[in-house]
Amino acid sequence: MTTAARDDHLDIADVERRVKAIFIGSVGNLVEWYDFYAYAAFALYFAGSFFPGNDPVVQQLNAAVLFAIGFIVRPIGGWLFGHLADSYGRRNALMLSVMLMCFGSLMIAALPTYQTIGIAAPILLGLARIIQGLSLGGEYGTSATYLTEVADEKHRGFYSSFQYVTLIGGQLCAIVVLLLLQQVFLTGDELRAWGWRIPFVIGALLAIVALLMRRNLHETDEFVAAKAVARRESSLKALLKYPREVALVVGLTMGGTTAFYTYTTYMQKFLKLSVGLNDLQTTLVTASSLVFALFLQPIYGAISDRIGRKTLLIAFGVAGTLFTIPLLDALQATQSAFTAFLLIAGAWLIVAGYTSINAVVKAELFPTKVRATGVGLPYALTVSIFGGTAESIALYFKTMGHERWFYYYLTGVIAASLLVYLLMRDTKHTSAMGRHE
């Protein structure tokens, strides 16, 4: 074999190794997000089983509060799993996080209702959400780090965008399961009585499959190289040396995460309770808009590899500040499911400027030895404050009769992040990848 042929063979083998690692890592990520979002997708059906009363808005608000609790503990998960990933390897942390998610899903699937055990039912439901929140808090930072580290330098934006492909894909899978149960297998009464447990059983089984697949993940070269450098301090203590980078993660995340959860978890309730679409229309519009969003991620990620990350972030910030209120006003006023889809698709053309590249931007801020903690902890803290509460804040304003206040809130948060985008350096050109200090 000639030298050129041998080099080509090694290049192909390297690409195959990277693609396989990204595929396995992404599948596990999809399963985790499916498990987490099954709660939001089926809340319309199980809320009455855990929260007594006749007002569906109040029941959804109570369910949304527990959804937010899952976010409150995510910073703990971000710190814990970030430390594990930075100290003992990305692979081990990824395996542990999916095991924890499996347990949380099984717990929800088996929970007795309020009629059976009273107030203990919503308490145990909250505990299950805490377990899932810990798992997901660790999953984001570790998987963002893993996907970024296994990608080659020229295609980091493209490869890392698959984190949000699978994140959105997880929610889409939850919606598809809902659609199948809703339209093919069960009646509405059956879904409310017991059918809502099915998606959590499916999620637990899928988590076991993801765990088996993650056993075959190889450790990233960056982590292996960093292990050769002596460690004398914990990941959290090391993170304190990067206050600017931590502040950047918080600032660039707050607007994007609030917008993301507005057009994902809250949008299903918004279409049902505010726009007035029926169950089938709500599910179809939600699912089709998620498919559209899913395909945007790698396109925007590839664009960032050519023009840089900062340009896309600024585009999201400017368009989000200018068009959020008109988009949501038009969406609330429409009576057409197709028009609703077009409006949400328009919103995703804006939001994808953040979602497609936020993982790689955060990973490029930190050196290897503290990367998983640096990505996971401040991100999880910001998502807990802004993303996880978006649905609760929107529903609270609705119960007050001032639903439009949320539109202004979302616009303000995006505008605050825009200031960060304008002032930050482009991480594509100032990346900390390869630094192991």
What is the total residue count of the chain?
A: 437
Could you state, in order of their start, the residue ranges of all structural domains in the chain? 19-216+242-423
Question: Where do we find the tokens 């990848």?
Answer: 433
In the 8-state DSSP scheme, what is residue 370?
G
Tokens of 184: 């093919």
pLDDT band at 409 (very low <50, low <70, confident <90, very high): very high
Q: What share of the chain has pLDDT > 90, as a percent?
A: 21
Q: Tell me how far apart the alpha carbons of residues 313 and 418 are, in angstroms, rounded to a whole number.
A: 8
- Pairwise CA distance, residues 250 & 253, whole Å: 5
Alpha-carbon distance of 55 to 332, in angstroms, equals 21
pLDDT digits (tens, 9 = 90+) for 105-154: 888 888 888 788 887 888 888 888 888 888 877 777 787 787 777 777 77
pTM above 0.85, yes or no: no
Rounded Cα gap, residues 259 and 317, in angstroms:
11
Comparing 19 with 252, which gets the higher pLDDT?
Answer: 252
173: left (phi over 0), alpha (psi -120 to 50) or beta: alpha
CATH code linked to domain 19-216+242-423: 1.20.1250.20
Output the DSSP codes for 17-42.
HHHHHHHHHHHHHHHHHHHHHHHHHH
Q: Say what the pLDDT of residue 209 is.
A: 84
| Higher per-residue confidence, 408 vs 403 | 408
Using alpha carbons, select from 358, 370, 99, 122 the residue that is nearest to residue 233.
370
Using the predicted structure, report yes or no on whether residue 288 has a pLDDT greater than 70: yes
Share of the chain above pLDDT 70, in %: 87
The arithmetic mean of pLDDT across residues 160-188, rounded, is 84
Residue 432 has pLDDT above 80, yes or no: no
CA–CA dist 304, 38 (Å, integer): 31
Average pLDDT, the chain: 82
pLDDT on residue 4:
44
Calpha distance 410→389 (Å, rounded): 11
Residues 271 and 266: their CA atoms lie apart, in Å, by 9
Mean pLDDT computed over 382-411? 87
Q: Decide if pLDDT at 2 tops 70.
A: no
Q: Give me the DSSP letters along 275-334.
A: I---HHHHHHHHHHHHHHHHHHHHHHHHHHHHH-HHHHHHHHHHHHHHHHHHHHHHHHH-
22-36, 206-220, 308-322, 372-386 — most confident range: 308-322
Q: What is the rounded distance in angstroms from the CA atom of residue 360 to the CA atom of residue 298?
A: 12
Q: Which of 8-22, 62-76, 415-429 has the lowest mean pLDDT?
A: 8-22
When pLDDT is averaged across residues 367-379 and rounded to a whole number, the result is: 82
Q: Are 105 and 35 in contact (CB under 8 A)?
A: yes
pLDDT the model gives residue 54: 61
* Element (DSSP H or E) covering residue 102: helix 90-110
245 exposure class (CB count in 10 Å sphere: 0-12, 13-18, 19+): buried
Secondary structure (3-state) at 134:
helix
Half-sphere exposure of 64 (CA within 13 A, CB side): 24
Q: What is the pLDDT of residue 235?
A: 66
**Higher model confidence: residue 4 or residue 401?**
401
Q: Exposure of 284 by Cβ count < 10 A (0-12 exposed, 13-18 middle, 19+ buried)?
A: buried
> Residue 311: pLDDT above 60?
yes
CA distance linking residue 346 with residue 274, whole number of Å = 19
Rounded distance between C-alpha atoms, residue 168 and residue 30, angstroms? 8
In this structure, how many other beta carbons lie within 10 angstroms of the beta carbon of residue 393?
19
